[in-house]
Structure 1
């Protein structure tokens, strides 16, 4: 009883801490001058930054358009499985120091819009990880009360075997529009006393934490757990992401209508978009909502722009992953971040849809963490009779959706994008374990599943 009381007190305390923080334990930018934030791991099979407790590397990249040297510091925060502060002391989860100065930065080269590019590698000589779990990387300027950005990442123990399988949706009315899954976990040598209470999973779609589902085991036998409660691990399939390619400002890339170069910048006019709710499903290459930075004009490697056409005609998931990697590795790391320029990207949407007073249309994707930010608001142009937005974005390849946002929070993608069971999506499942007496949620395994990988099961 005392243990339960202590546990409840700790939970309440951690919730109180989280509510009083000057930042969120989520992927977010707090400084308007900070652009193009990425946190990537060297595990290429997942778009979520995941490293092993026994090895692996993370790299954070971002630009400061203020273009003046600033002193940025980083802090590591350990969280529970629900992304609340775990209450663990720094000494319990990292070797080395917290609140360290970022020392790596470089001024942009030959760009019309000037910026300073910063990067941070983890782990490093000052900071390594002791335990698994959910983590948040905080970048701040003077102290934690002046946050610059926060980014989530995962440290994994890889103790169990996790396997995702796709099944036909139990929601018969929406069987053509949804995607549903079951998950099996082989615990191997892990021996939980009560698997139903001690082991849980979270499944998320296309690295978007706002499209995630938590679940507990519905069946266990020996070392095997099964998560198969119907209509639990289900998602709207939606459509393939819209795309545009601005890796070259001297050639018109995919999704681009016109390029206007000026002495002080570049305007990119995208091809006009329309609603996709009444169209049939069409498989085209996308990067599952992600973006990456590249500048084909540096290396004159214009042939790499044709890789997208190869992928558009290829449904094999392994070859898709290989071709995606080919694009991302087409240029050296340092060059693509410091020599890729910023452009004003103009979005055009012809959508004869009647919005309520509390509704707006936003551009959403990994480039803005799928959050309805003011910069990505589509405004109605009465003269052109369409919705428009202009967004400052770095050269690269981008995926995006349009979403109708109600009251600034609830996002409806289907109204403009449609939904199909056949859509190619990537799903990640993380397995968590917290045994009796454990002080934190351990990440004991994960699996990445592409819906084009295998046939659907009953």
Structure 2
């Protein structure tokens, strides 16, 4: 029995370690924008046959050779059985040919762009989870990003509700949804073969995985959970815009030229004790822009943005981090604020390209968990966008298809 238990644990460990994770970029790779049909970058969720676009800057600016690779994965991000010829029309492991040097900027950089499909990678054949990896000339992974491709088969309807748990009724939002296979697909044994993924604000790091249908009405699968599909409401993101690099514009106190431009923001404060105030945001995203040139991709400046948070909340050994899609919601030493005794505030300087940015401050606890509302609070009125992905592997299937996508916005929240 001990041997069997050991073998089972080893098997589980192998399954867990087989799950792929995104590779974070090095410091010299900045302003990664990865998008499909949406205006803002993030984790693209595109229909089969649609276009995805990736762009990034190399601050070394030496016109380095970069290559790209595509891989297909199952629902749980373990490698699928499919061969490259089964997922791809054309070839990958190909050099990125579309790049251009920055023009008239203090910080030199090379701007790279990749679009799929293209003349070499003509398209993707199947739906599901994908990983796009960018490689250097030694075929080492520089960074990677996940994306999802779906087929528009199942009908997914969703709505945002207030939680029925009175303790959190003013702080949480609950997503209820239904899935209907319609006439195009017969969903067999949905409890085992159908899986779901709920993504708030295009942030897969906060996703809820694999809820099972509670019951069915004809061909319709019903998901009306409360706690299981609940998200903290959060608060609207803070923002700044520095498209005019030499002026003190929206939420910017002053600018200075020290080798390159420095942008000093007005100090922020803890918001969780304040009443909720609607402040339109772009749900954590960013958009590169400049008024000093015609092409922001190569004419926008890089600037050290100085953040300041006046915080008097106990951290209990935790860390304050800057949070947003500007770095794919990654927390590391570069996003950590430190206490400045002279200013009696927590401060950070972070290198960013000109544009419009959403951000917030979060607490990283000693155990590694992240409290998104510790400084900004949680409110059921907060505007959030939710996306539901439906994965299906029929009996005898070799991979997990994404057969439908639904969405809902909390602007229309109801009891």
Instruction: Please report the TM-score for the alignment, with normalisation by the length of structure 1.
Output: 0.84
Answer yes or no: is the 8 Å Cα contact 2:33–2:41 preserved in 1.
Answer: no
1:85 to 63, 71, 79: 79
Instruction: Give the root-mean-square deviation of aligned CA atoms.
Output: 2.0
Unaligned ranges ≥5, structure 1: 1-7, 300-334
Q: CA deviation at 1:50?
A: 2.1
User: Which residue does 1:310 correspond to in 2?
Assistant: none
Aligned-partner Cα distance in 2 for 1:15–1:90: 22
Aligned-partner Cα distance in 1 for 2:369–2:69: 31
- Residue 203 of structure 2 corresponds to residue 205 of structure 1: no
Answer yes or no: is the 8 Å Cα contact 1:15–1:85 preserved in 2.
Answer: no
1:352 to 289, 296, 312: 312
Instruction: Map 1:292-303 to 2 at 5 A.
Output: 292-298=287-293
Aligned-partner Cα distance in 2 for 1:448–1:233: 14
Secondary structure in 2 matching 1:191: coil
Answer yes or no: is the 8 Å Cα contact 2:200–2:384 preserved in 1.
Answer: yes
Looking at secondary structure, tell me which structure has more helix per residue. Answer: 1
Aligned-partner Cα distance in 2 for 1:253–1:224: 51
User: Which residue does 2:15 correspond to in 1?
Assistant: 15
User: Which residue does 1:159 correspond to in 2?
Assistant: 153
Answer yes or no: is the 8 Å Cα contact 1:364–1:400 preserved in 2.
Answer: yes
Assess, with a 3 A threshold, how the Cα gap between structure 1 residues 16 and 201 changes in structure 2: closer, same or farther. Answer: closer
Q: CA deviation at 1:62?
A: 0.3
- Residue 347 of structure 2 corresponds to residue 398 of structure 1: no
2:178 to 176, 179, 184: 184
Secondary structure in 2 matching 1:182: strand
User: Which residue does 2:116 correspond to in 1?
Assistant: 122
Assess, with a 3 A threshold, how the Cα gap between structure 1 residues 210 and 61 changes in structure 2: closer, same or farther. Answer: same
Secondary structure in 1 matching 2:395: coil
User: Which residue does 1:319 correspond to in 2?
Assistant: none
Instruction: Map 1:299-310 to 2 at 5 A.
Output: none
1:213-266 alpha-carbon deviations (Å, 9 max, x no partner): 12121111222111112211110001000111111113322221111134x311
User: Which residue does 1:258 correspond to in 2?
Assistant: 254
Secondary structure in 1 matching 2:296: helix
Q: CA deviation at 1:25?
A: 3.0
Stretches (4+) displaced over 4 A: 11-14, 43-47
Q: CA deviation at 1:68?
A: 0.9
Assess, with a 3 A threshold, how the Cα gap between structure 1 residues 422 and 406 changes in structure 2: closer, same or farther. Answer: same
Aligned-partner Cα distance in 1 for 2:395–2:13: 20
Range 80-89 or range 207-216, more displaced: 80-89
Instruction: Map 1:399-414 to 2 at 5 A.
Output: 399-407=358-366, 409-414=368-373
Q: CA deviation at 1:438?
A: 0.6
Secondary structure in 2 matching 1:362: strand
Secondary structure in 2 matching 1:15: helix
Instruction: Map 1:167-246 to 2 at 5 A.
Output: 167-189=161-183, 190-214=185-209, 215-246=211-242
Q: CA deviation at 1:292?
A: 1.1
Q: Number of matched residues?
A: 403
Assess, with a 3 A threshold, how the Cα gap between structure 1 residues 355 and 442 changes in structure 2: closer, same or farther. Answer: same
Answer yes or no: is the 8 Å Cα contact 2:42–2:325 preserved in 1.
Answer: no
User: Which residue does 2:271 correspond to in 1?
Assistant: 276
User: Which residue does 2:50 correspond to in 1?
Assistant: 56
Q: CA deviation at 1:377?
A: 0.8
Answer yes or no: is the 8 Å Cα contact 1:133–1:441 preserved in 2.
Answer: yes
User: Which residue does 1:291 correspond to in 2?
Assistant: 286
2:26 to 31, 42, 57: 31
Aligned-partner Cα distance in 1 for 2:42–2:352: 20
Aligned-partner Cα distance in 2 for 1:256–1:113: 21
User: Which residue does 2:344 correspond to in 1?
Assistant: 385
Answer yes or no: is the 8 Å Cα contact 2:200–2:386 preserved in 1.
Answer: yes
1:162-207 alpha-carbon deviations (Å, 9 max, x no partner): 1111122022100000000111111112102212221121111111
Assess, with a 3 A threshold, how the Cα gap between structure 1 residues 351 and 419 changes in structure 2: closer, same or farther. Answer: same
Range 29-38 or range 58-67, more displaced: 29-38
1:280-315 alpha-carbon deviations (Å, 9 max, x no partner): 00001111001111112225xxxxxxxxxxxxxxxx
User: Which residue does 1:313 correspond to in 2?
Assistant: none
Secondary structure in 2 matching 1:32: coil
